[in-house]
A and B are shown apart, each in its own frame.
Chain A
Amino acid sequence: MSTVTLKNLSKRYDGAAAAALVDLNISINDGEFLVLVGPSGCGKSTALKMIGGLEEISGGEVYIGDRLVNDFASRDRDIAMVFQSYALYPHMSVYNNIAFPLQIAKVDRADMDKRVRDVAKILQLEPFLDRRPGNLSGGQRQRVAMGRAIVRRPSVFLMDEPLSNLDAKLRVKMRSEVARIQRQLQVTTIYVTHDQVEAMTMGDRVALMRDGVLQQIDTPHEIYHEPRNTFVASFIGSPAMNLFRARLTSEGDHMRVQLGDQNLAITTLTHQRYPRIDQHVNGEVIVGIRPEDLEDAALLPEHPDEQCLTAPISLLESLGSDQMAHVKLQAENIRDIDEEDEELMATDDSDGSGICICRFAAQSDARVGDTVKIAVACDRLHFFDSSTGLALRNQT
């Protein structure tokens, strides 16, 4: 077990216009499960491979424990890696796949046998030890890859999207399995994924990356409830946070946010969380509202009027447990997305309205075409600078 420290880690490929990784600084604690998450091409796998010694380091330092390992070969770093494709040796049995690192390390035969069988027991692979990887299911292959990593008892595990080749049901099962094994072994783990659900459920901390730059590193709770910028706010959460361009107004002590022709009161709690909104009074900001913070007001009769919006429902998706209502607000909708490679892209309709997704309880009687009153949990509003996209909090 060991800490991992990255200092100004950078990567630039020959001939590439942009850097793949820019000054990544992360300290990973002993036994911690850190998830690196982000869209494709954000540099998360590059960072992982640099830690593993599979990719040359263009700049910066990698420490495992207190050893600077920049110039160490992979095999001298005391790490094990699980690959996206599992990278099992197809010509070897499951037993030999798991035993391979021990055979290389010339571990005594009896000890090796015991360790392989112990690992096979933990991963429920005992009946398959004589099979070749080609005769295993996806989930079993994934477990063999895990087995090969844990049999060595390394200081650090690196996992590169290990569950992405599994079907949805198996992925959920393996997610908890991997997390359980990590907690049991208490080995420092760096896990790369593009799946935010994996990131949120498995990690002690989540590091969200974009275009080679670390956007935020925090606990899943923090990263969800206190996003540092509009990209983090958009990326984490499904459906994504609703982001609108809005104006801040002030009447005496009361601040309001103006969304098109409607106003919402800003509560004291929200003001405390976002103190820098003071600087934007009578100016433009981006306001963020999570779908679960928008409820059918008919179900919350006590909810204050100044914390409600009214809008027509254009689409209603029932999920059984709740309903996703797509309502049209007279405000410019913003999404900080990567696919189009355009920052703060507006997704509003030509009439200046934007779609806002609300998560209504299953008991709601709202129908498509109805104009509904929506109760907004104004204590949980989020505010971002309209030009930089940064949260209007006192950031460190």
Chain B
Amino acid sequence: MTQTQTRQLQRSQSDLGILMGKTARTLVLLVASIWVLAPLILMIIASFKSVPEFFMNPFGLPDEWMFSNYSRAWTDANLSLTLPNTIIVTTVAVLVSTLLSSMIAYGLSRKKKKYAMGLYTLFVSGLLVPVQAIILPLFIVLKAIGFFGTLMALIFPYIAMGLPLGVLVLTPIASALPHELIQAARMDGASEWQIFSRIVLPLMKPGLISVSILNGVWMWNEFFIPLILAFKPEVQTMPVGIVSFIGAYSTEWGLVFSSVIVSTLPVVIAYLFMTRQFQSGLTAGAVKG
């Protein structure tokens, strides 16, 4: 075999290797996509079915598209109340919790390590406390200060419960900010608040997005706290509202799924518009920029 032939053989072998690699990768991605999309598509289809059809033909297209499921969900499932409630609670809690976390993180990053470490551990250990363990004292405290029966009863615990994750993610980011930037701003005449708001906060943006996404998603979906603390329909959030369709003897699956679709829609729309920020936010802090 000549040298040229050997080289050609080697090249075709390496081409084959690349092709196989690409095929394997495509297959894995295909399976992963189906894994995610199949339940979503089934859910969308099921949201247009009547209850009998849901059981008779669980995977097929509906014979009759029940668009009324959506209008009934809006009125009967109180989506017209629970959706705005969820938006208000999540937005306020995410904004305040992220802002407070960033302030704590910046403060901790500028303290001496021996003092900061203890406080940091204290904040982060909040992640280990299960909500079931604190629900009773929370109930008593909220009732005592008069927040019970208002959206504040959800917003305040969410803010507090968002802090551990916020502090965990943002403190290393704040610590990595060059000290000279802060000194330069101080020299330029900035007050401590101006240093924080005009220099530190914008530079922590990827981390802030990351914390907002992670906290926002669980606050949006949180079920247990509103179940206990927000039993009045006018302060209920969507996860609790949806469950009210699930009865002991019969369940309106079409309404359940249409409500679930409505509740997922804002997150999906936000994702479509902010794909880049989501991705950079979720990887923020993973690699030093």
Contact = CB atoms under 8 A, between A and B. Distances in A.
B199 A74 contact: no
B189 A81 contact: no
A83 B180 CA distance: 7
Contact of A101 (B180, B189, B191): B189
Interface residues of A, number: 22
Contacts of B188: 75, 80, 100-101, 104, 148, 152
Contacts of A100: 185, 188, 190, 198
A91 B185 CA distance: 13
B203 A104 contact: no
Contacts of A105: 189
A128 interface: no
Contacts of B180: 83-85, 87
Nearest to A73: B186
B199 A79 contact: no
A101 B187 CA distance: 9
B202 interface: yes
A104 B189 contact: yes
B202 A91 contact: yes
Nearest to B194: A104
Interface string A79-101: 11101110101110000000011
A52 B189 CA distance: 12
Given A91-B202, A104-B194, A85 B187 contact: no
Contacts of A87: 178, 180-181, 183-184
Contacts of B194: 104
B203 A91 contact: yes
Interface in A59-89: 73-75, 79-81, 83-85, 87, 89
Interface residues of B, number: 18
Contact of A75 (B186, B198, B202, B205): B186
A54 interface: yes
Interface string A101-129: 10011000000000000000000000000
A75 B190 contact: yes
Interface string A124-161: 00000000000000000000000010001000000000
Interface centre among B187, B189, B191, B198 (most CB of A within 10 A): B187
B178 A74 contact: no
Contacts of A81: 183-184, 187
B106 to A, nearest CB: 16
A87 B199 CA distance: 11
Contacts of B191: 75
Contacts of B205: 91
Interface of B: 178, 180-181, 183-191, 194, 198-199, 202-203, 205
Given A87-B180, A100-B190, A104-B190, 5 more contacts: A73-B186, A81-B184, A81-B187, A89-B181, A91-B205
The 7 closest A-B pairs by CB, nearest first: A87-B184, A101-B188, A87-B180, A75-B189, A104-B189, A91-B202, A81-B187
